[in-house]
Amino acid sequence: MPFRFFVKQWLMPPGILLLLLLAAWWWRRRRPRLAAVCFAVGLGGLWLMSTPLAVQRGAQALETEPALATEGWTDLAVQADAIVVLGAGRERGDPAWDGADQPSYLALERMRYAAQLAKASGLPVLTSGGLHYGVPPSEAQLMAERLQADFGVKVTWKEEASRTTWENAEFSAKILQPLGIRRVVVVTQAWHMQRSRWSFERAGFEVVPAPVGFLGRDHARPFAGLLPESRAMWQSGQLLNEAVGLLGYRLFY
């Protein structure tokens, strides 16, 4: 796992773009034209990834599922039998919580939305997410604890073995389908919903998409969103990873 993670970080932007800049410096005297191309692509790619406009355009291509209408939340019990919240990582050892691990802010965004849907519809909740690099507690356990403590929502099932979106669906099916549950509301980021819905449908579920955290809307940034922002760099990395994952799932699953 560490080796795969290392390779992935350098093959995906911004890692590959930094390697291009390094190559430009290395070839600046021996192969100046190639060095110029590497420099232009590397620097241009870093600038593009850091602009809110690029994030907005990239997200629009991935965020194909519309948001649920708030007036329809109470009707979800007619359309589905359970709510599934997908994990999104965790923050390790936060001193503000006596060193206890906490769900990431993406996970918290999903949990908050899922809690509102559960309260409005009365549907039971499953949290899905395994161990982070093999270290307990699981993401599902962390989310279940915080849903109860922070939002007053009791989690009925915890799927604690998955490491990927495909496994989120596969292992959730092993828990829910023997109970006769085949219609689920899936809660995840809007840009992650395409791959999530595809995975859960392949696992035998009827899916009601419940996307949250849309990035493809107009964020009203100055200068048309062309000025670099550090947050946009991270968001671009998430979107690129999602685009590659979506393609990979269609090819290999």
CA within 13 Å, CB half, 86? 29
Residue-wise DSSP of 172-210: HHHHHGGGT--EEEEEEEGGGHHHHHHHHHHTT-EEEEE
For residue 98, is it within any domain? yes
Report angle CA 101, 191, 62 to the nearest 5 degrees.
160
Which amino acid type is present at position 165?
Answer: T
Residue 98 and residue 184 in one domain:
yes
84 closest CA partner among 209, 238, 213, 250: 209
Residue 159 forms beta bridges with which residues?
Answer: 128
Residue 167 and residue 194 in one domain:
yes
Residue 144 and residue 51 in one domain:
no
Rounded CA gap, 151 and 175, in Å? 24
Residue 74 and residue 136 in one domain:
yes
Residue 78 and residue 132 in one domain:
yes
Number of domains comprising the chain: 2
For residue 220, is it within any domain? no
Buried b / exposed e over 79-92, threshold 16 CB at 10 Å, is ebbbbbbbbbebbe
Q: Are the C-beta atoms of residues 219 and 59 closer than 8 Å to each other?
A: no
Residue 133 and residue 205 in one domain:
yes
CA dist list (Å): 48 to 56, 150, 189: 12, 38, 22
Q: Could you read off the pLDDT of 196-222 as tens digits, one per residue? A: 999 999 999 999 999 999 999 877 778
Residue 84 and residue 180 in one domain:
yes
Q: pTM for the full model?
A: 0.93
Residue 14 and residue 133 in one domain:
no
The two three-digit tokens of residue 161, written as one number: 């073995």
Range of the domain at 114: 68-212
Q: Could you read off the pLDDT of 156-191 as tens digits, one per residue? A: 999 999 999 999 999 999 999 999 999 999 999 999
Q: Could you read off the pLDDT of 17-65 as tens digits, one per residue? A: 999 999 999 999 999 999 999 999 999 999 999 999 999 999 999 999 9
